[in-house]
A and B are shown apart, each in its own frame.
Chain A
């Protein structure tokens, strides 16, 4: 069981890499807890989480091969 996790904007800088792989993680709450252990102060930042390119609300189960992204507020234009 492995998920691909993408970080964008300043979160890519804080994470130290734009992409990481996490093993044995069953839902997004568990994943956020793991990521929070690597990005100091993650809870203080504004961001949304997407699973397979769809923004999620609340805890979401993860399956092998899912693509999860941590997205800071959009700033296009």
Chain B
């Protein structure tokens, strides 16, 4: 899977996770692959249960933000080989995955730390918004 793919319509599927890990693991210089998958929780707010989250994004800015995050990670972690970020847009149901981060590195320490740092940067830097849709079809922006 191309690392240029950073936005996917609907949920990130288990097949996409497998394909991304497989693609990024290609080559024999990386000794560690760290994977983070963010999943939609069925939170309860005011007695209403979240059925799904609808994500929207500023796609033109998001592309630049992803490139910026990858640059930060490569500069901060010299052992990192690849950084892949895939975020959902549109509706993702509770229990489905909306964010995938895969980092490969020579060794596990940098793979895991860089993966954690990438997830934090995704939350801070990506122009993405989410609307919780409840089972009664009401919604709120979070």
Is A53 positioned at the interface, with any CB of B under 8 Å from its CB? yes
Is B87 positioned at the interface, with any CB of A under 8 Å from its CB? yes
Please indicate the chain B residues that have their CB under 8 angstroms from the CB of A71 in the complex.
58, 127
Is B70 positioned at the interface, with any CB of A under 8 Å from its CB? no
A9 and B56 within 8 A (CB): yes
B64 and A74 within 8 A (CB): no
State A9–B64 Cα separation when bound (angstroms). Answer: 19
Is B136 positioned at the interface, with any CB of A under 8 Å from its CB? no
State A10–B54 Cα separation when bound (angstroms). Answer: 12
B56 and A8 within 8 A (CB): yes
Which range holds the interface residue count of chain B?
A: 20 to 34
A8 and B38 within 8 A (CB): no
Please indicate the chain A residues that have their CB under 8 angstroms from the CB of B123 in the complex.
74-77
State A6–B60 Cα separation when bound (angstroms). Answer: 12
Please indicate the chain B residues that have their CB under 8 angstroms from the CB of A77 in the complex.
38, 87, 98-99, 119, 122-123, 126, 128
> What residue in chain B is nearest A72 (Cβ atoms)?
B129
Known: A9-B56, A9-B141, A10-B141. A76 touches B99 (CB 8 A): yes
Which range holds the interface residue count of chain A?
A: 10 to 19
Is A69 positioned at the interface, with any CB of B under 8 Å from its CB? yes
A72 and B61 within 8 A (CB): no
Which of B56, B61, B98, B128 is within 8 Å of A12, CB to CB?
B56
> What residue in chain A is nearest B88 (Cβ atoms)?
A76
Is A50 positioned at the interface, with any CB of B under 8 Å from its CB? yes
The 0/1 profile, CB within 8 Å of B marked 1, for residues 1-20 of chain A is 00000101110110000000
B99 and A8 within 8 A (CB): no
State A73–B52 Cα separation when bound (angstroms). Answer: 20
Known: A13-B141, A76-B130. 20 other contacts (CB 8 A): A8-B56, A8-B127, A8-B129, A9-B141, A12-B56, A53-B58, A69-B58, A69-B61, A71-B58, A72-B129, A72-B141, A74-B125, A74-B128, A75-B129, A75-B142, A76-B55, A76-B123, A76-B126, A77-B119, A77-B126
| A–B pairs, 30, beta carbons within 8 Å | A8-B56, A8-B58, A8-B129, A9-B129, A9-B131, A10-B129, A13-B141, A53-B58, A53-B60, A53-B61, A53-B64, A71-B127, A74-B123, A74-B124, A74-B125, A74-B127, A74-B128, A75-B129, A75-B130, A76-B55, A76-B57, A76-B99, A76-B128, A76-B130, A77-B38, A77-B98, A77-B122, A77-B123, A77-B126, A77-B128
